[in-house]
Amino acid sequence: MKSIRVAVAAAAAGVSFLGLAACSTPVEAGAAAIVGDQRISSSDLNANVKSYQAALERANIGPDQLTAPVAQFVLFSMTNQLRYQQLADKHGVTVSETEIDAALKDPGEFQDPEMNLLSKGVSPADARDYVKAEVGIRKVMDKFGGAGNQQAAAKVQQEFNSIKTTFSPRYGTLQQGQGFVDPGRFGKPAQAAQQPQG
């Protein structure tokens, strides 16, 4: 069985420079999340989850290898995609079909295009829109000075974080560095226990 746990952790770290600041405003009925002025419906999320689960099965990867429940993992990916695309649109960035095709073949960090997509919560069968948005955000970064430029990274992060994102409470609350936390079942995120002074 392939292991995706390391891939998932690394992918989450790769996105962390674009940290997700979630809002607690209520979402409309039938919505899994609202990203800026765009809605992710529960039915769209369910369809993506089914496709992603099928891709995991084909790759012989169990959902227990993920660092979060499948629905939350895929929802996080879908919100990132919309935020990337909104920033690309704002800055007039376009991505050609040829660029998407090339990115889909890129072996990437894990030397396997399929594993790279799975580690990001994306089914390889439904990856074109996600990859388009991902290439778009890289081009936005290039407009600001490139990925190695700290000022460019800070500017893109600031704009990314300014896109209001609200999740349906059914998926929990997104906590920076902890992912989704379900306050109903697990209470507040656990704080590190203080060691007694001796």
CB atoms within 10 A of CB 57: 11
Rounded to whole angstroms, how far apart are CA atoms 64 and 41? 25
Which of 10-24, 39-53, 107-121, 141-155 bottoms out in mean pLDDT, i.e. has the lowest? 10-24
Give the residue with greater pLDDT, 111 vs 103.
103
- pLDDT of 74 reads 94
| pTM for this predicted structure | 0.78
Q: Over the stretch 44-54, which tens digit does the pLDDT of each residue have?
A: 999 999 999 99
Q: Residue 163 in contact with residue 132, Cβ under 8 Å?
A: no
Residue whose structure tokens are 């069968």:
125
Rounded to whole angstroms, how far apart are CA atoms 26 and 13? 28
Distances (CA, A) of 146 to 139, 143, 153: 8, 7, 8
Rounded to whole angstroms, how far apart are CA atoms 51 and 94? 27
Distances (CA, A) of 188 to 174, 191, 194: 12, 9, 17
